Structure 1
Amino acid sequence: MVNNVSTNPGALVALQNLNRITGQLEDVQRRVSTGKQVSSAKDNPALYALAQKQRAQLGSIESVQQGLRIGSSAVDVAIAAGEGISDILVQMRTIASQASDPSLGASERALLQDQYASLGDQINRMVDSATIGGRNLLDGTTLSMSVNASTDGSSTIDIPGYNLTDASVLTIDRTGGDLATSGGAATEIADIDTTIDNLTNSLAALGAGSQALDLQGNLLSRIADSLEVSIGNLVDADLARESSRLQALQVQQQLAIQTLSIANAAPNAILALFA
């Protein structure tokens, strides 16, 4: 080997080795800090593109899930109000049954009418309160609610609405006027039974809609979970492996620095020969 003070091949080789190790160390440190094996297109264009596509699909699913949750809330509120109204109708039937007794005095009948009318007002309040997000499936303002069920908009879940303010649905006299006579009370009992049947059918349809929303939401949740796992498999770093590499590269970097220092000191040894 020829000793030369003009150039230092050993130092150049040592510097190249140090730069290579430092670059590898920076890559590993980035993967450890971000937790990602692929965090940009330059890391792996194909995997990055595939992961981005799956992220877009996941975002679409989350949007649909949000719509399903909003729809479920509207249906749940309607069902809760409808069940409450059903309970009130049972109480009203009991009062109407008492009012069908022809032996009742005027004051007793008037008291029953007041109780009946009070329950009728409560039905009105419950219908009005079944509003969420501007939607009310019981007051006739929303006769049908369509909820998007797919990421491409090709599938919807349609929930029927009802008008419990309509006399053809709630066939009772909510003012209690029919209870003024025993015959009127008997007629009101039949109307209450019809109303309960109508309401039960409405609640059954709402319940079926609620189940459909829940089933679709659960399906999308499973798909979203699978996508998250898939994205992780594509881009996540193996932190245990990267941690081991980090330690090894740190040692290699220290050795490379020492090697470069020794190589840089070689020309000084030549000068010592002329001292």
Structure 2
Amino acid sequence: MGMNSVNTNAGAMIALQNLNTTNKDLGVTQARINTGLKIANAKDNGAIWAIAQNQRAESTSLNAVVSSLQRGQSVADVAMSAGSAISDILVQMKEKVLAATEAGLTTASKQALSDEYTALRNQIDTIANNATFDGVNLISSTTVNSASIKAIANADASATIDIAHANLSKTNTAIAATLSGLTGTVSAGDVTKLETAIQNVSSQLSKLGTGAKALDTHLTNVMKLQDTLDAGVGNLVDADLAKESAKLQALQTKQQLGVQALSIANQSSGILLGLFR
């Protein structure tokens, strides 16, 4: 049997220890509910927090990859749109050349065809030089903005997805070989040169399209990877709020009981006063 003493109240000390433990657990649970995290910092679980932080860095780095890929997509889309317009112009130019091969055309008629042909041919450089996005042009021959695309492909920048520059201006070898005007002699060979130019541009656009498709596919994969990383971090550090809510109710009840137990234990010393009446 324990000693009756007014100096040392063992029951009150035990009750206080239990109440402090409950309050500590209650504070942890409330913090998890407030933040939604079961591991909010290294103090909670150093190893798991470090793993989660590393994966957060990986996921955040992928934001730069996504931005680079999306920029590459925009550059490629602008180039392909302009390239398609150039291809359409070449088709119209072929029509004019074919018409100019007809024997017996009057000088006026041939001049009219030549004027239309020349105007179309001059549009090629205008379209090519304007196909610029964020300072990059995939199809122009100007030295200011002509460049290839090297989009970042992973979080450590050790790989890129490249789309090579394709010259679709009038300096393109196949386009340069076409007639500059139709006022002179026009032959079937000149029609063939236009066909060659059309085929050349189509081939270049096919390569641009393949590169753009690679950007699209990789962007989809990167975004899926980022979602997977974020979900993995959540599995490591997120709190189960349903579980924490139930735990909160239990701890609040224990806290109330602990306060009552401490109150009862504190009253035990007063019982000793009855011995001196």
Give the structure-2-normalised TM-score. Answer: 0.87
1:59 shift after superposition: 2.7
Does residue 15 of the first structure (1) align with residue 16 of the second (2)? yes
Give a deviation string over 1:158-184, Cα, whole Å, max 9, x none.
Answer: 2110222314142365xx852114x32
Summarize the alignment of residues 50-199 of structure 1 with structure 2, pairs less than 5 Å apart.
Answer: 50-140=51-141, 141=143, 142-165=146-169, 166-171=171-176, 177-181=180-184, 183-184=185-186, 186-199=188-201
Secondary structure of 1:157 counterpart: strand
Q: CA deviation at 1:187?
A: 4.8
Name the CA distance, whole Å, in 2 between partners of 1:128 and 1:167: 13
Q: Distance in 2 between matches of 1:47 and 1:249?
A: 26
Are the aligned partners of 2:136 and 2:147 in contact in 1 as well (CA < 8 Å)?
no
CA distance in 2, matches of 1:178, 1:186: 15
Does structure 2 retain, via aligned residues, the 8 Å contact 1:171–1:191? no
Aligned-pair RMSD on alpha carbons?
2.4
3-state DSSP class of the match of 1:180?
coil
Letter in 2 for 1:266: S
Residue type of the partner of 2:15?
A
Q: Deviations over 1:35-70 (max 9, x none)?
A: 111111111111111112222222333322322222
Q: Give, in whole Å, the separation in 2 of the partners of 1:111 and 1:196.
A: 23
Report the TM-score, using the length of structure 1 for normalisation.
0.88
* Residue 188 of structure 1: how far off its partner (Å): 4.0
Partners of 1:171 and 1:194 within 8 A in 2: no
Change in Cα spacing, 1:86 to 1:4, as seen in structure 2 (3 Å) is same
The aligned length equals 272
The list of structure 1 runs, each at least 4 consecutive aligned residues, that deviate by more than 6 angstroms after superposition, is none
Percent of aligned positions that are identical: 41
Instruction: Tell me the equivalent position of 2:207.
Output: 205
Instruction: Decide whether aligned partners of structure 1 residues 177 and 144 sit closer, same or farther in structure 2, where only a CA change above 3 A counts.
Output: closer
Match of 1:237 among 233, 236, 239: 239
